[in-house]
Structure 1
Amino acid sequence: MKKIFMYALVGVLGLTSLTSCKDDDKGPAPTAIEASSFTTESSPGAVKISWTNPANANHKYVRVTFIHPETKKQIVRLASIHADYILIDGLLGRYGEIAFTLTPVSKTGVEGKSHTVSAAAQPLPKTIKVNLQSEKAQTFVADGEGKSVWVSTLQVGEGSLAELFDGNPNTYYHGQWYNGGNGPMPHYIVLKLEQPTRAFKIFMKARHNKAADAPKTFNFLVSNTFSEENVKNPSQHNAVKVAEYASGPANTNGSEWNSPVVQLDEPFVYVWIEIHTLHSGKNWPTLAELRAWTYKLNSFDPETGETVEI
């Protein structure tokens, strides 16, 4: 009985010795990172954790672990020995403070001393996008009560303002050419939208002849007030430039041009088309057709997952 006990004892001691040797074979634990060197910096949806690597650093990487507040799963991120910070993204401000545990690990898998820091990400900002499904064609009145379009130059008896919106590509609007035109560029076409909007799009179509007199370079301005006597003075209405274009309808008969959807920070009622040059170099713009559409915007809040129309 004593012999059996002795054999068992020797076996246990041998196993312990073997295990100890295996641990020793993995080498020393990584040099500790000073706890005082850990700092955190919050940004929208992320936390940056920084530290100072010791002069004799011998870890392969720093392992960062934390429990995701929403999924309750453990998340692991790694930073190599060549890094002195790690950015943990994919977070939300509403998660609040999260405990991050940082552990240096050697190339053989030996773990060094762990440190835990806590920090919260800043809330993610709302994202605003154009709702293309909300497209609404605008109707414009050229004369009389409810007039909603004005120009700074018009050749009476050759085309009319109403023909700019009649859907007929064979009719047209023509700026004044008599006596050299109605003053120097820029000239303006001002549109009053049916309601205040934060997004719009413009379409232009050149004439089937005289396409060279279509706008070549022009800007879009917006304002909330307008008076016909100041049709050439947008500054009198605090008009703001929101888009600039170096190429409108091409210098080919019947060419068409669509603007991208222009998204605004605030709602406006009036859109000013500020025409600077024509393909012909003259100062009397012409167009066969002009159209406009407005759009609503969708605001998505990543903190709540909700989308609302604005």
Structure 2
Amino acid sequence: MKPRLALVPGEPAGIGPELCVRLAQQPRSDCDLLVFGDADTLRAAAVALHLPLRLIGEAEQVRIPGDLRLHAVSNTASNHFGTPDPRNARAVIEALELASDACLQGRFDGLVTGPVHKAAINAGGIAYTGTTELLAGRAGCDVVMMLANDIVRVALATTHLPLRAVADAITANGLLSSLRIIHAALRRDFGIDTPVIAVLGLNPHAGEAGHLGNEEIEVIGPVLEALRAEGMRLVGPLPADTAFLPGKLAGFDAVLAMYHDQGLPVLKYSGFERAVNLTLGLPYPRVAVDHGTALELAGKGSADPSSLFAAVETCARIAAQRRLAG
């Protein structure tokens, strides 16, 4: 049996719905998809793109391009592409909750998510910091954010923090947890028996032997030594400005960056269109697009669907790998 994947379009006023319509035009041999979203919004996206769309029930067979299985989660207010309505925040969150719960219950083998609009959700009266945090809370586990394309995998020790707060957030316990999650995911989800993980320093030149900061000496280095003693292959702490040179990168299976803008600009420059966002540590694979809602493009038919296509392919591949691993 093909893996069953749940798909959540995200913000209805953004490009998520039309990317799902484009996805429905592609024949799939790697997975079965079910969308959790608003039927009228998906139909409106299909009309805007001049593409066929036939929304079918969960048990029906996809037969022709444009067929899309749907679990309806209706918006409260009429949707207008390009203009988020906070009244629809509840439907966005409900779709994520229903899909994640279905994965936790074993009804689906993985979750793919489109872009959400944090400001609209919070304006709708729902305290929301991000989908990664929401899914981790429902699963009751620690997770790590990793972004990946065909060239590099970059995980983050901290995510969406002000730069002033990053140094205090780099702790021994946090790094131990993150590296164990990354190591386990590379083995289980990517089939790498003995992964090599590069770990960046926090400071320029990885602290320059303490002259530019002590975090590498006092926190990062001791964690790497402890995990090497457990058998992990860890390289670092490395200066971030040279760690991504092609000759070095070829020897790493993943890179752990200390903060968001230390690692992600390199990944996005190397291949933004095919980049995806993975949540490591969940009981099921979750893969998201690596872009925002692009409100200025919504409903115009010009949004590039490559990241969503890559997210579905990646999630299906990981789900199949987990089945093989048992």
TM-score of Structure 1 vs Structure 2, range by shorter chain: under 0.3
More contact order relative to length (CA 8 Å, sep ≥ 6): 2
Larger radius of gyration: 1
Higher normalized helix content (fraction of residues): 2
Which of the two has greater strand per residue? 1
TM-score (norm 2): 0.23
